[in-house]
Copies of this chain bind each other. A is one copy, B any other.
Amino acid sequence: MTREEALALDAADPLARFRAAFALPDGVIYLDGNSLGPPPIAAHERLAQASRAEWGEGLIRSWNTSGWIDAPLRVGGKIARLIGADPGEVTIADSTSVNLFKLAAGALSLRPGRKTILSEAGNFPTDLYALQGLAALLGDRAALKAVAAADLPGAIDEDTAVVVLTHIHYKSARRWDMAAITAAAHAKGALVLWDLCHSVGSVAVDLNGVDADLAVGCSYKYLNGGPGAPAFVFVAERHQAAIVSPLTGWMGHAEPFAFEDGYRPAADIRGQITGTPPILGLAALEAGVDLQLQADPAQVEAKGLALAELFIAEVEARAADRDLRLASPRDPAARGLHVAFAHPQGYALVQAMMARGIVGDFRAPDIARFGFSPLFLSYVEVWEAAHALGEVLNTGSWDQPEFRKRAAVT
As a 0/1 sequence over residues 228 to 270 of chain A, the CB contacts with chain B under 8 angstroms (1 = contact) are 1111000000000000111111111100111111110000000
Q: When the two chains form their complex, are residues A97 and B278 in contact, meaning their CB atoms are under 8 A apart? A: no
How far, in Å, is A13 (CB) from chain B's closest CB? 22
In the bound complex, residues from chain B placing their C-beta under 8 Å from that of A125 are 250, 253, 256, 259-261, 263
Copies of this chain present = 2
In the bound complex, residues from chain B placing their C-beta under 8 Å from that of A36 are 55, 59-60, 63
A208 at the interface (CB under 8 A from B): no
Partner of A248 from the list B133, B256, B409 (CB cut-off 8 Å) is B133
How far, in Å, is A172 (CB) from chain B's closest CB? 13
Partner of A95 from the list B274, B354, B407 (CB cut-off 8 Å) is B274
A47 at the interface (CB under 8 A from B): yes
In the bound complex, residues from chain B placing their C-beta under 8 Å from that of A130 are 247-249
Whole-angstrom distance between the alpha carbons of A274 and B105 in the complex? 16
Given A38-B55, A39-B51, A280-B227, also A250-B97 (CB < 8 A): yes
Whole-angstrom distance between the alpha carbons of A54 and B137 in the complex? 38
Q: When the two chains form their complex, are residues A284 and B275 in contact, meaning their CB atoms are under 8 A apart? A: no
Residues 32-61 of A at the B interface (beta carbon under 8 Å): 32, 35-36, 38-39, 43-44, 47-48, 51-52, 54-57, 59-61
A14 at the interface (CB under 8 A from B): no
How far, in Å, is A389 (CB) from chain B's closest CB? 17
Q: When the two chains form their complex, are residues A248 and B25 in contact, meaning their CB atoms are under 8 A apart? A: no
Partner of A98 from the list B124, B249, B261 (CB cut-off 8 Å) is B249
How far, in Å, is A410 (CB) from chain B's closest CB? 5
Which of A159-167, A311-319, A357-365, A391-399 interfaces with chain B? A357-365
In the bound complex, residues from chain B placing their C-beta under 8 Å from that of A9 are none
User: Hey, which bits of chain A sit against chain B, CB under 8 A?
Assistant: 23, 25, 28, 30, 32, 35-36, 38-39, 43-44, 47-48, 51-52, 54-57, 59-64, 68-70, 94-98, 101, 105, 121-126, 128-130, 132-134, 136-139, 141, 146, 171, 218, 220, 226-231, 244-253, 256-263, 274-282, 284, 354, 359, 361, 363-364, 407-410
